[in-house]
Each structure stands twice: as structure tokens, then as C-alpha cells.
Amino acid sequence: MTDQRPTLADVARVAGVSRAAASRAINGTYGASEAVRRRVRAVAAELGFEPHPVARALATGRAGAGRRERIEVLIVDPDPEAMSTKPFYGRVLTGAMRALGDRDIALEVRRVATLPADDGDAPFGRLLINVPGAAGAAFARRGRTVALGRSAPGVMFVAPDNDGGGHQAAAHLVNTGRKRIGAVFGPPTPCADERRAGFMRVMAGAARPVAVADGDFTRARAYAAARELLAGEPRLDAVFASCDVSAMGVLQALRETGRRVADDVAVVGFDGSALAEAADLSSVYMPVEDEAASAVHHLLDPALPPPGRLPTRLTVRGSS
């Protein structure tokens, strides 16, 4: 005899929600609004759906495995040392944990060199970092997703005013009389492209030529790029590095070639991390912790209004 008992999928279909949302509504776990919870439970009662006790225990975290809802921070970065060498990621985790507070939701961090082939056990929500636009859109179709930085159209994101920050860095160098300016930009990502655009727009308006080298937000590449810039233009009197980690490589190259910071060459970074403060580096501060907290708040409550761009500001220190 065929078992005709209604399934959770049946309840989700009739209620017009995803299977995961139906499960959360029935089991009373975090992430379902009161309206959705009432609708799903009404449909379940109408269909005569009764959750299996073992499945219910798993869904609510009362099984032996101690399962909890979780938010995954998915980071695409080929650098195996990225979590320890790039302060940005630590600041993201600080902001995410601040937003979660004492909620019974786990924060799971996954760094991958390339995106995984499949979704596997999908989390309650995902915070995407450095995920290409098309892949970000695919994740967004499968569940709650917020990107840090502009992604594909239709994918919610939180980002600082990168363009404005690049503008501030360039204006500072122009206004302090620097004439022969170099720049170590970042990889071809939206945030790096925005910083570059803001910087170059000011330089074009001031008729300042810029010696450009491409970086990848690592110290090693920025060091090599700065050596290339100095070899091609020995009289450089300023360098903009599009992140603080890159600025550390630039400072190393300047020291090794006998240039004095900032008497001979001014240096400005971007991030405003603890590295900048420790190195007395002028840097454009971006509120990473606030970005991450805002992203998590939107994962918890998608009904919140879309976040705007968060402001950046240049902090001038001894390097410029």
C-alpha cells in the first residue's frame, strides 16, 4: 500500500515557501517570521501533516549531534595564509559575532581557493566574500545570501564607499604637492575596481600621470610591484596601495631602496586596519565590522531595507 501521508514538501508547496522555511516554521527554530509560521502551521493542520519525531529533533537541535542553525562565511581566497595575514577577515568575524549576539546560531567559516562544486548541507544563511557575481547569484537562488562587496544584479550586498575612499586618497596626495605618483591597485574585483576608479578620476582632473602596477592584496606581490614602479620611475614621490596589506609590501620596498617615508615618498593605504595604526600609515578607513554586522542583520531579517554604502574616511598619519 502506498503511504499517502502529506510530506513537509507538500506543506511547503501549498504554503508557498521553501522546504527549509516550512521546517523552521513548524519546528519553531530561528528564521521564520510570525506570519510565515502561522501560515505554514495552518497548512500543516489542514493537510494533516505530522513531523517525524527524529526529524523534528534534528531540525531543532535536540538530537544527539547537537545540530544548530548556522551562518556560513564563505571566503574565496587562494592564499592559504589569508586568515592570519589579512586583518580584513578577522574584522568581518568580529562584526558578524557582534550581530549574532547571544542567539543560538553557529558562525561557520570556510575559506576555499575555488568555489565548491555543490552546495551540500545548505546553512541558514551565507555571507559571501570574493565570490564572483554569477556564483553569488547561484547561491542567492538557493537561500539567504548577502555579499560583502558588489556582486551580481539582484544579489543583496553591503559595501563601503570604495570610490569615495579612492577619491580621498588621491585628493590628499594632490593637495600635499605630490607630483610623480604611483599606485599598486588590487585584483579585478568590484571593490578594487571602485577604489581604482575614484583614485584615477582625481588624478585625471589634476592632470597627474600615474605609474600603475597591479597587485593582489598580498604583501609579496605589492613588494614586487613597488620595486617595478621604482625601477621604472626612480623619482616617484608618492604611492597609493589599495589595501593596508599591500602597503606593507610598498613600505618594505621603499626601505630596501633607501627611500625615506614620507620625506621622499608618501604612502597611503586603504582599510584602516590595525596594521595601518602600527605602521603609522595614512589609510582610508572602512568600517568592516559594521559591514559584516549589517550583512548578518539582513540574513536574520530579509525584510530590512537594503543597506546603503557605508562611509569611508582618510586618516592621515606619518607616512604622508
Say yes or no: 145 and 75 in one domain. yes
pTM beyond cutoff 0.85: no
Number of structural domains (the chain) is: 3
Examine the domain organization and report whether 245 and 295 are in the same domain.
no
Q: Are residues 166 and 279 in the same domain?
A: yes
The CATH number for 183's domain is: 3.40.50.2300
The least confident of 32-41, 230-239, 291-300 is 32-41
Q: Are 128 and 269 contained in the same domain? A: no
The answer to whether residue 55 scores a pLDDT higher than 50 is no
Residues 37-55 have a mean pLDDT of: 75
Asked whether the beta carbons of 311 and 167 are under 8 A apart, the reply is no
Cis peptide before 65 (omega within 30 of 0): no
Q: Per-residue pLDDT averaged across 168-179, rounded?
A: 97
3-state secondary structure of 241: strand
Structural domain boundaries, residue 111: 69-158+288-308
205 with 220, same domain?
Answer: yes
Q: What is the pLDDT of residue 231?
A: 95
Say yes or no: 125 and 154 in one domain.
Answer: yes
CA atoms within 13 A on the CB side of 308: 3
DSSP SS3 for 5:
coil
Query: Cα 93 to the chain's mean position, in Å?
Result: 10
Tell whether 50 is covered by a domain: yes
Q: Is residue 317 situated within a structural domain? A: no
Residues 225 and 254 both lie in one domain: yes
116 and 132, same domain (yes or no): yes
Instruction: Give the model's confidence band at 124: pLDDT under 50 very low, under 70 low, under 90 confident, else very high.
Output: confident
Asked whether residue 315 is assigned to any structural domain, the reply reads: no
The answer to whether residue 268 is domain-embedded is yes
Please indicate, yes or no, if residue 222 is contained in any of the structural domains.
yes
In a domain, 236, yes or no: yes
The answer to whether 76 and 114 have CB atoms below 8 angstroms apart is yes
In this structure, is residue 237 part of a structural domain? Answer: yes
- DSSP character at residue 145: E
